[in-house]
Amino acid sequence: MKKKIVFLTGTRADFGKLKSLISASQELDGYEVHIFATGMHLNNKYGKTIDEIYKCGFKNIYPFINHDRADLMDRVLSATINGFSRYVAEINPDLIIVHGDRVEALAGAIVGSLNNILVAHIEGGEKSGTIDELIRHAVSKMSHIHLVANHDAKKRLLQLGERGQSIFVIGSPDLDIMASNTLADLNSVTAYYDITFDSYGILLFHPVTTEIDCWEESTREVVDAIIESKKNYIVIYPNNDLGSEIIINGYKRFQNNPRIKIFPSLRFEYFLVLLHNADFIIGNSSAGIREAPYYNIPTINIGTRQHERGNAPTIWHCNYKKAEVLDLITQAKKANQVAVNKSTASSFGSGNSTELFINLLNNGVFWGLRKQKSFQDRDF
């Protein structure tokens, strides 16, 4: 009998991490693969990215709307638990795979653990900041198997009391796509999105829920800096956390500006091509901390959202003040040819995450891991 695997995806970002794993596992004879697509994927405002999942030709895609107009994170968590619980009861999977630090991942881990179903968490053990880190560690504690990007992440999970036998270092799956030779050329991508300028920065700025009281001012400072820099920009909508409406309202000032192209979302592979050819990326996205250094692209990391991440020499940190952001924009433009050793610029792995993942699926030890967890005391 085939084993059933469910991949849970709630955003364009986590789908980019999961895509190669989904594709490879669907090609295996011994598995029946399902996709539970929810969150931003079902929201027209953010580009309704479930269409990108359909275009991949994947089978067994189940769409579920988990949010209302308010987009309050606790309500999204509650709705996702309810919907995913009913879905799991219907198909009875053997393994649930979640990624990262979104409330959808937390919902998947909760449903799996409470229903005695194996849960595998991808890229746990990371440090960042704000509410994201709390969610990520909570997902790890509710998961049985950990597929981490590097040994630092493994060490943190050991500090959290996880069993070493359940932690597997496979790297970051998106590197498999980043390092491939199958990505489109830049001209095709810019033509697809009707981008007419050759030189540009990428703005990807997400809300920080713990700073919501001052978020309107922070957004205004960043928008002011972007406009006053008089450079070309590709601007991508934020995620749908609390505070996203403030950012989107702030972006209205970009309208009719010929230097700025705004997109609700970009296809993951096309985003990588644009990032690889950008002058710099600016904002507070993990793409500036993880993907950009691999491509040797300067990052202007604004604020606290990634304050525990980012030690590559191409990453510069600043606060939300316009003057400081403007200063780093000028420096980043001049520094975009700085040579950086990729082995020190990122901790993604070796671009073989999919291979390592498939090897684990075909390993009896993986499926024999205990669902009954206990905290592992350690002396460090």
Are 173 and 355 contacting, i.e. CB atoms less than 8 angstroms apart?
no
What angle, 0 to 180 degrees and rounded to 10, lies between the N-to-C axes of helices 73-91 and 103-114?
A: 40
pLDDT in tens, 45-73: 888 999 999 999 999 999 999 987 656 88
CA-based diameter of the chain, in Å?
62
Residue 5's DSSP bridge partners are 33, 95
pLDDT in tens, 328-378: 999 886 665 554 444 444 577 878 999 999 999 999 888 999 899 999 998
- Look at residue 145 and give its three-state secondary structure: strand
Of 52, 43, 111, which Cα lies nearest the Cα of 80?
Answer: 111
What angle, 0 to 180 degrees and rounded to 10, lies between the N-to-C axes of helices 130-142 and 103-114?
A: 20
**Token pair of 284 as six digits:** 């507070």
Burial of residue 162, with CB atoms counted within 10 A of its CB: 0-12 exposed, 13-18 middle, 19 or more buried: buried
**What is the model's pTM?**
0.90
Residue 261 pLDDT > 80, yes or no? Answer: yes
- Look at residue 62 and give its three-state secondary structure: strand
Instruction: Return the DSSP state at 283.
Output: E
pLDDT in tens, 291-309: 998 899 999 999 999 877 7
Q: How many CB atoms lie within 10 A of CB 285?
A: 25
Q: Tell the residue number behind the tokens 């993942």, with chain if given.
A: 357
Measured CA to CA, the distance from residue 170 to residue 291 in angstroms comes to 16
Sorted by where each starts, the structural domains of the chain and their CATH numbers stand as 3-179+351-367 (3.40.50.2000), 186-345 (3.40.50.2000)
pLDDT in tens, 98-116: 999 999 999 999 999 999 9
pLDDT in tens, 211-239: 999 999 999 999 999 999 999 999 999 99
> Which pLDDT value is given to residue 242?
87
Burial of residue 367, with CB atoms counted within 10 A of its CB: 0-12 exposed, 13-18 middle, 19 or more buried: middle
- Look at residue 167 and give its three-state secondary structure: strand
- Look at residue 87 and give its three-state secondary structure: helix
Residue 189 pLDDT > 80, yes or no? Answer: yes
Sheet with 95-99, edge to edge strand ranges: 61-63, 31-37, 3-9, 95-99, 118-122, 145-148, 167-169
Burial of residue 146, with CB atoms counted within 10 A of its CB: 0-12 exposed, 13-18 middle, 19 or more buried: buried
Measured CA to CA, the distance from residue 128 to residue 235 in angstroms comes to 23
Measured CA to CA, the distance from residue 23 to residue 177 in angstroms comes to 12
